[in-house]
Amino acid sequence: MVATPIGNLGDITLRARAVLAAVDAVICEDSRVTGRLLRHFGIARPLLVYHEHNAARIRPRILARLARGDALALVADAGTPCIADPGYRLVREALSRGVPVRAVPGPCAAIAALSVCGLPTDRFLFQGFLPSRRSARRRTLAELARVPATLVLYEAPHRLRATLADCLELLGDREACIARELTKRFEELRHGRLRDLLAALDEESAPRGEMVLVLGPPAAPEPGAEEGEEDALREALREALGRGSLRDAVAEVAALTGVSRSRVYRLALELEGGGEG
């Protein structure tokens, strides 16, 4: 699985070049795109086109070649294979047949955007492309709203405005970054709150190029939210205590809610002591 540049050809790795030059064939999505890349580096290897429309037909042929011992490299049009790109089924089936699969890592738009977005990166969720239908897109965003992590989305330019508006409505006015045309001539990073980014877009002509949208995690709970949470915990504890021992009730509620055992235990003791009625 060979990663290739996401724009700037200088980002090819030494190992990617060596592997692409050495394999029996290169599996690619689009022979024109990969042909151009290989020519640029003076590499001449046979290409095998594999994409979602011919995957079912071509996959058995690829697996047969792997079984014969051929060395095949899989590349995406750009970046890391399997990241919002085909490849996963093939990797899975190769592995299930005992074919060794190796990563030749390199550029990835999501990781490049995370590295420059200035938002927390200790925990992130890669969403990739949202569904194109509005209702499905909004449903997905509603699910993501509760995820306590930075979110990474890929988006097409003509949908950026609508997506930002839906994000603002369903996720709140989060800090965000639009990373456009990373590593390319017209690379641009915009940082700001969703509302401001959206307002700036409204003043301009439609954005162009490839882009990653990074959204910061949800804000810390409002004061008072914790009280509401404690009420819900007490309620869950009362129910669990009705069914079993204090120890089991604490374990059950902590596991269900993800709240620490010590905090749940303290609340349980309060309840048992009758402090809360």
Q: How many CA atoms lie within 13 A of 126 on its CB side?
A: 11
Minimum distance from CB of 8 to ligand SAM (Å)? 8
**211 is a site residue for ligand SAM (CB under 6 A):** yes
**91 is a site residue for ligand SAM (CB under 6 A):** no
**145 is a site residue for ligand SAM (CB under 6 A):** no
The only residue of 21, 83, 170, 251 in contact with ligand SAM, by rule CB under 6 A: 83
Residue type, 70: D
H or E stretch covering 104: none
The only residue of 16, 78, 99, 267 in contact with ligand SAM, by rule CB under 6 A: 78
161 or 263: whose CB is closer to ligand SAM? 161
**33 is a site residue for ligand SAM (CB under 6 A):** no
The only residue of 79, 87, 216, 217 in contact with ligand SAM, by rule CB under 6 A: 79
H or E stretch covering 126: strand 124-129
72: three-class secondary structure by DSSP: strand
| Radius of gyration for the chain, computed over Cα atoms and rounded to the nearest angstrom | 25
Q: How many CA atoms lie within 13 A of 158 on its CB side?
A: 1
Minimum distance from CB of 155 to ligand SAM (Å)? 6
Under 8 Å between Cβ of 214 and 152? yes
**50 is a site residue for ligand SAM (CB under 6 A):** no
74 or 236: whose CB is closer to ligand SAM? 74
Spatial distance between the Cα atoms of 110 and 153, rounded to a whole number of angstroms: 8
The only residue of 93, 173, 181, 230 in contact with ligand SAM, by rule CB under 6 A: 181
Minimum distance from CB of 181 to ligand SAM (Å)? 5
Spatial distance between the Cα atoms of 141 and 273, rounded to a whole number of angstroms: 42
* Residue 220, both tokens: 């810390």
28 or 237: whose CB is closer to ligand SAM? 28
**159 is a site residue for ligand SAM (CB under 6 A):** no
Minimum distance from CB of 58 to ligand SAM (Å)? 19
For residue 48, list its beta bridge partners: 27
Spatial distance between the Cα atoms of 81 and 244, rounded to a whole number of angstroms: 50
**154 is a site residue for ligand SAM (CB under 6 A):** yes
Tell me the helices (H) and strands (E) count for the chain, helix number first.
11, 8
The only residue of 13, 49, 55, 85 in contact with ligand SAM, by rule CB under 6 A: 85
Strands laid side by side in the 47-49 sheet? 47-49, 25-28, 72-74
Mask for 92-131, x = binds ligand SAM (CB under 6 A): ----------------xxx---------------------
Contact footprint for ligand SAM (CB under 6 A): 6-7, 76, 78-80, 83-85, 108-110, 154-156, 179-184, 210-212
